């Protein structure tokens, strides 16, 4: 990827119904952020999966999964290795197309979109945090964070200003010029959280976001991830095998052999 991305002049309108898209501005840490209003009882889920099936050759990774994700809600997807967690996340995020079933973002049938449309949808509406951050090693932190905004057409100057505000907000003031190799694992994940949120996404997807961190650092990252995502008005899906990580979320589901076999509330709801 170029270090000097050209704003995309042909940003298509994917017409995702978005009645109450929150302002993607960095929350002001000096002003307590009120909890987002509870969705009206009749509001459709922000993201929904219906009867998702995904196979890889002879392996059925998802065997008919239903999931609902409300506005501002955080959901942990738990389960043993090979149970289908990552496949579910990839289908929900429009990275993989299901073989059967539907994925609906505010009612938009994501599963029917072309590869290109899904790629644009991800850029515009989703943020991602991965186990190892997946930051671009040759770019300083501030440019890693600014990049998704520039790809949506924000000027370099404005995107860089926004990125610095996000880094300040996440406790990384003065570290914006460091490259990922000059950051600790926890700092790098904070940069990844800032990068995921800078575009004001509808949903943030995190796949084992604390998998490479010690327990205390993982705790800090989950606190920052859940709090800032909620304050930004985004919903959150976290794949994890760790119950202490799942406890940060409002709700959790348990996946086994490609099926949802259990559900519960996280400590965030207690
Ligand atoms: N690209 C692929 N090609 C073939 N099989 C795959 C592929 N991706 C996943 N699978 C298989 O689908 C099943 C579910 O995999 P998935 O990665 O979703 O599980 P997971 O619960 O995320 O596992 P882990 O916790 O180990 O990451 C497994 O049997 C896996 O081997």
CATH classification at residue 148: 3.40.50.300
Measured distance CA(123)–CA(52) in Å, rounded: 23
* Arithmetic mean of pLDDT, 136-146: 96
In the predicted structure, residue 6 carries a pLDDT above the cut 50: no
Q: Whose CA is nearest to atom 14 of ligand 1?
A: 84
The backbone region for 156, taken as left when phi is positive above 0, alpha when psi lies in -120 to 50, beta otherwise, is alpha
The encoded tokens of residue 65 equal 């999964």
Asked, for residue 208, whether it belongs to a domain, the answer is yes
Indicate if ligand 1 lies below 6 Å from the C-beta of 83. Answer: yes
Q: How many domains does the chain have?
A: 1
Q: Is 32 within a domain? A: no
- Stretch 99-128: mean pLDDT: 94
Residue 194 included in any domain: yes
How far is the centre of ligand 1, averaged over its atoms, from the C-alpha of 185 (Å)?
25
How does pLDDT run across 154-168, given as a tens digit for each residue?
999 999 999 999 999
Q: What is the distance of C-alpha 62 from the center of its chain?
A: 21
CB 156 within 8 A of CB 7: no
Of 41, 36, 50, 39, nearest in space to 107 by CA: 50
1 in a domain, yes or no? no
For the four alpha carbons of 198, 231, 217 and 84, in that order, the dihedral sign comes to: negative
**258 CA → ligand 1 middle, Å:** 10
- Has residue 31 been placed in a domain? no
Beta bridge partners of 173: none
Is 16 contained in some domain? Answer: no
Residue 196 lies in a domain: yes
Query: What's the pLDDT score for residue 157?
Result: 96
**Centroid of ligand 1 to alpha carbon of 92 (angstroms):** 15
Question: Which two structure tokens, joined as six digits, stand for 150?
Answer: 């520039």
* Exposure class string for 166-201: b at 16+ Cβ within 10 A, else e: bbbbbebeebbebebeebeebbbbbbbbbbbbbbbb
Contact 208, 240 (CB under 8 A): yes
Contact 260, 50 (CB under 8 A): no
Give the residue, out of 52, 63, 76, 85, with the most ligand 1 atoms within 8 A of its beta carbon, to mutate for a pocket test. 85
Q: Which ipTM score applies to this complex? A: 0.97
Q: In terms of residue numbers, what domain contains 60?
A: 47-269
- Inside any domain, residue 156: yes
Question: Which pLDDT score, from 0 to 100, does residue 254 have?
Answer: 95
Length of the chain: 270
Using the atom order of ligand 1, give the atom closest to the CA of residue 255: 21
Confidence of residue 29 (pLDDT cuts 50, 70, 90): very low
CA 55 to ligand 1 center in whole angstroms: 10
Q: What is the mean pLDDT of the chain?
A: 86
Separation CA 185–CA 70 (nearest Å): 30
Per-residue pLDDT band for 8 (boundaries 50, 70, 90) equals very low
pLDDT per position as a tens digit, 186-204: 999 999 999 999 999 999 9
184 neighbors 200 (Cβ within 8 angstroms): no
So what's the pLDDT on residue 267?
Answer: 64
> What mean pLDDT is predicted for residues 211-227?
91
Tokens of 85: 């967690």
Ordered alpha helix ranges (H), the chain: 85-92, 115-125, 141-151, 156-169, 185-197, 215-231, 243-246
Q: What is the pTM of this model?
A: 0.85
Beta bridge partners of 203: 126, 235
85 in contact with ligand 1, CB cutoff 6 A: yes
Report CA-CA distances (Å) from 69 to 88, 243, 249.
13, 19, 12
Closest C-alpha among 43, 40, 41 to residue 17: 43
Find the distance separating the first CA and the last CA of the chain, reported in whole Å.
43
Residue 48 pairs in a beta bridge with 68, 104
């Amino acid at each position: 990827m170029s270090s000097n991305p050209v704003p995309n002049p042909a940003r298509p309108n994917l017409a995702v119904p978005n009645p109450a898209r929150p302002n993607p501005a960095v929350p002001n840490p000096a002003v307590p952020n009120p909890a987002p209003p509870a969705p009206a009882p009749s509001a459709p889920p922000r993201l929904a999966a219906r009867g998702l099936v995904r196979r890889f050759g002879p392996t059925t990774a998802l065997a008919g999964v239903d999931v609902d994700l409300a506005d501002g809600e955080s959901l942990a997807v738990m389960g043993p290795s090979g149970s289908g967690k990552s496949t579910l996340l990839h289908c929900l995020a429009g990275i993989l197309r299901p073989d059967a079933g539907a994925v609906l973002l505010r009612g938009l049938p994501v599963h029917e979109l072309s590869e290109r449309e899904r790629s644009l949808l991800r850029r515009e509406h989703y943020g991602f945090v991965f186990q190892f951050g997946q930051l671009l090693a040759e770019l300083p932190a501030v440019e890693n964070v600014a990049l998704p905004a520039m790809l949506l057409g924000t000027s370099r100057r404005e995107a860089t200003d926004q990125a610095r505000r996000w880094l300040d907000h996440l406790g990384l003031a003065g570290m914006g010029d460091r490259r990922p190799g000059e950051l600790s694992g926890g700092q790098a994940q904070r940069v990844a959280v800032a990068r995921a949120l800078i575009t004001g996404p509808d949903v943030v997807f995190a796949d084992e976001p604390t998998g490479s961190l010690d327990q205390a650092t993982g705790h800090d990252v989950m606190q920052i991830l859940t709090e800032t995502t909620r304050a930004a008005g985004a919903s959150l899906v976290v794949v994890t095998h760790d119950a202490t990580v799942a406890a940060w979320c409002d709700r959790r589901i348990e996946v086994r052999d490609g099926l949802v076999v259990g559900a519960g509330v996280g400590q965030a709801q207690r």
